Amino acid sequence: MGWVEELSEIVEVFSPSDAYAYDETPPLIAPKPVQNFVVVKPENANEVSAVLKFANRRKISVFTRGGGTGLSGGAVPTEEGIVLSTERMTGLEVDRENRVAECGAGVTLKQLDDAAFKNDLSFPLHPGAETATVGGMIATNAGGVRALKYGTMRNYVLGLEVVLADGRILELGGKTIKNSSGYSILHLLVGSEGTLGIITRAKIRLFPQLRDMTVLAVPFPTMDNAMDCVVEISARMLPLALEFMEKRAVEIGERVSGEKWVSRDGEAHLLMVFESFDEADEAAKIAQNFGAIDVYAATTKKDRDRLLRVRGLIYEGLRKDIIEILDACLPPAKIAEYWRRSNELAEKYGVDIITYGHAGDGNIHQHPLIYDGWEKSYFEFRKELLKLAVSFGGVISGEHGIGAVKTSELREFFPEQFDLMRRIKLLFDPNNILNPGKVVGKI
């Protein structure tokens, strides 16, 4: 890497470390990072522009990194080059009159939440770990448990400052909710996972503060009962969250959290969160009509937190035992049938999977557990599982992104779209320096 000294004349250069080589992708399927990379930490778009002009001229790969909380290997440096960390881009101002937060790409979810709250506003979406950054959440179009009512990151991005591969700085959008001024390049950048440009600042839409919450915990005899209830509730109202867990997931959540769920009876369990007590009351009646074993309402903060911890810590209880986290998304009315069929497929391949997720928006989290000889059969099983989701009208990733781990399935299941994506990639980045190999594979 004879170019490092020249780069150091443009920006401060740091030695590589494991802190910049990995993200949160489960290690068994995570891409292997290279050793020959350096780290830069620009503070603004002009410094990013200088780095990209240099890298584009020398055809050096650049991997953008936010909080490192990604689950698809998107931030992992897989070729010799530069890791560009956004950690110093932390400017944050709230325009209360227009309900907009102007933030650097390195601002964390917690910092954004806190700033909104101090201005009597809220960022209602909670799409990931509190250390996730605004730039990373935009780059993956993050969703989370509140997407049913409040959408995904795409619904909050009003404006972007983006640096293209050749160093040009674009200002996209603004502070307006409506914008029909030609093709939306802004929304093309949302979810592009660092392959089309580097996000340096964003204008994020804020909302009034959330109201007091009521949480319902509802076990059902069967997954069909639970999902029929989900469909009916979603037709009548929009809960803040509408989560489902199979029985084993509940047991894992209990073990890790040290909290007790309302009941272990039943095949499927729903966790519903409402901003309105009247809606919660109506949902409880609907649940009873669909055969609920019990309907438990938590109205105190302590009780709410207890139930939310059970759901929220399932992944922590599985982290060391899984091959990966799958996040297919399909029409909510298809969840029960998909769950049955996926279990049949898993049994055929000798795979044990644990399933839970966001019932309201159809985003299913499935955790295949490690088994002897998994390397020989797992990836064929995964392809069949994702093909099953697509056959139900679904997609292969609802919120984690494609990154480095699902490019082959994207190519196989959506070939026309994949070809268009590659063409767009080369239009934005002809020298293929931005996160090469991710999303659209090697070019």
Residues 58, 130, single domain; the answer is no
Residues 199, 220, single domain; the answer is no
Indicate whether 288 pLDDT > 90.
Answer: yes
In this predicted structure, what is the pLDDT of residue 54? 98
Residue 415 lies in a domain: no
User: What total of structural domains would you count in the chain?
Assistant: 4
Residues 306, 393, single domain; the answer is no
Q: 232: domain CATH number?
A: 3.30.70.2190
Residue 189 lies in a domain: yes
Which domain-ending residue is among 258, 293, 316? 316
DSSP sequence for 201-268: EEEEE-EEPPPPPEEEEEEESSHHHHHHHHHHHHHH---SEEEEEEHHHHHHHHHHH----S-S-SSE
Confidence of residue 378 (pLDDT cuts 50, 70, 90): very high
Q: Is 51 helix (H, G, I), strand (E, B) or coil?
A: helix
> Strands across the sheet with 157-163, in order?
92-95, 100-104, 198-205, 157-163, 169-173
Confidence of residue 1 (pLDDT cuts 50, 70, 90): confident
Residues 303, 346, single domain; the answer is no
Residues 328, 297, single domain; the answer is no
Indicate whether 432 pLDDT > 90.
Answer: yes
The dihedral through the CA atoms of 96, 98, 104, 107 has a sign that is positive
In this predicted structure, what is the pLDDT of residue 212? 82
Which domain-ending residue is among 316, 338, 360? 316
Residues 348, 306, single domain; the answer is no
Residue 414 lies in a domain: no
Q: Read off φ and ψ for residue 263, nearest 5 degrees.
A: -170, 145
In this predicted structure, what is the pLDDT of residue 434? 98
81-92 per-position pLDDT tens digit: 999 999 999 999
Q: Give residue 348's domain range.
A: 322-406
Q: 381: domain CATH number?
A: 3.30.70.2740
407-418 per-position pLDDT tens digit: 999 999 999 999
Q: Read off φ and ψ for residue 290, nearest 5 degrees.
A: -100, 20
Residues with Cβ within 8 Å of 107's Cβ and at least 6 positions away in sequence, in order, are 89, 90, 91, 92, 133, 134
Indicate whether 128 pLDDT > 90.
Answer: no
DSSP sequence for 61-116: EEEEESSS--SSSTT---SSEEEEE-TT---EEEETTTTEEEEETT-BHHHHHHHH
Query: 157 forms bridges with which residues in the sheet?
Result: 204
Residue 419 lies in a domain: no
175-234 per-position pLDDT tens digit: 999 999 999 999 999 999 999 999 999 999 999 999 889 999 999 999 999 999 999 999
DSSP sequence for 363-397: EEEEEEBP-TTHHHHHHHHHHHHHHHHHHTT-BSB
**Average pLDDT of the chain to the nearest whole number:** 97
The CA distance from 126 to 120, in Å, is 17
Which domain-ending residue is among 87, 122, 156? 87
Residues 128, 197, single domain; the answer is yes
- Percent of the chain predicted with pLDDT > 70: 100
Mean pLDDT of 152-171: 98
DSSP code of residue 329: B
Residue 430 lies in a domain: no
Tell me how many helices (H) and strands (E) the chain has.
15, 17
Indicate whether 328 pLDDT > 90.
Answer: yes
Indicate whether 80 pLDDT > 90.
Answer: yes
Residue 55 lies in a domain: yes
Mean pLDDT of 245-269: 96
pTM attached to this predicted model: 0.96
> What are the b/e assignments for 244-280, b being 16+ CB within 10 Å?
bbbbbbbbbbbebbeeebbeeebbbbbbbbbbbeebb
- Which has the closest alpha carbon to 131: 107, 160, 148? 107
Indicate whether 155 pLDDT > 90.
Answer: yes
415 neighbors 42 (Cβ within 8 angstroms): no
CB atoms within 10 A of CB 118: 10
Confidence of residue 27 (pLDDT cuts 50, 70, 90): very high
Mean pLDDT of 57-67: 98
